[in-house]
């Protein structure tokens, strides 16, 4: 199995024993991103809209490091601190895709790292 580790300083450094992404063949598996500003290493977002934008910017940086874009994303998983945030997250999330949306599931969980309100992971595929 061919396995390539993807890491970029343009996204937050992992806060545990994992990689930002791993590529195997044409598939890229992106670890969950939270709203950490990679420049400061801190969560600076003050609401779910700004948190979601920061998460999507972090994911975009990892995709870029893997020579991919949101158009290559096949599937996402969204973890929320509360399902009442679903509508606002959907509005922001949808702006990052141009039409053919990936498959997705969304869960509410008890807590997330750094006590954020959202975490998103992705699976992408290049050279389809």
Could you list the residue range(s) of the whole structural domain that residue 47 is in?
Answer: 4-125
- pLDDT tens digits, one per residue of 112-122: 999 999 999 99
Name the strands in the sheet holding 118-125, side by side, starting at the edge strand that comes first in the sequence: 4-6, 21-24, 27-33, 118-125, 73-80, 103-108
Q: How confident is the model at residue 107 (pLDDT cuts 50, 70, 90)?
A: very high
pTM of the model: 0.95
- pLDDT tens digits, one per residue of 33-84: 999 999 999 999 999 999 999 999 999 999 999 999 999 999 999 999 999 9
CATH number, domain with residue 9: 3.30.1330.40
Candidates 28, 30, 84; CA nearest to 58 is 30
What three-state secondary structure class fits 55?
helix
pLDDT for residue 128 is more than 70: no
Query: How many structural domains compose the chain?
Result: 1
Distance, CA of 31 to CA of 35 (rounded, Å): 13
């Amino acid at each position: 199995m061919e396995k390539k580790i993807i890491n970029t300083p343009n996204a937050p450094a992992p806060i545990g024993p994992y990689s930002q992404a791993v590529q195997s063949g044409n598939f890229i598996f992106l670890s969950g991103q939270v709203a950490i500003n990679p420049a400061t290493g801190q969560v600076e977002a003050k609401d779910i809209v700004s948190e979601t934008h920061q998460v999507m910017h972090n994911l975009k940086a990892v995709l870029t490091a893997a020579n991919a874009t949101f158009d290559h994303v096949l599937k996402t998983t969204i973890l929320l601190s509360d399902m009442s945030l679903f509508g606002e997250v959907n509005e922001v999330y949808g702006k990052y895709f141009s039409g053919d949306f990936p498959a997705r599931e969304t869960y509410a969980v008890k807590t997330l790292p750094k006590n954020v309100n959202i975490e998103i992971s992705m699976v992408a595929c290049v050279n389809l």
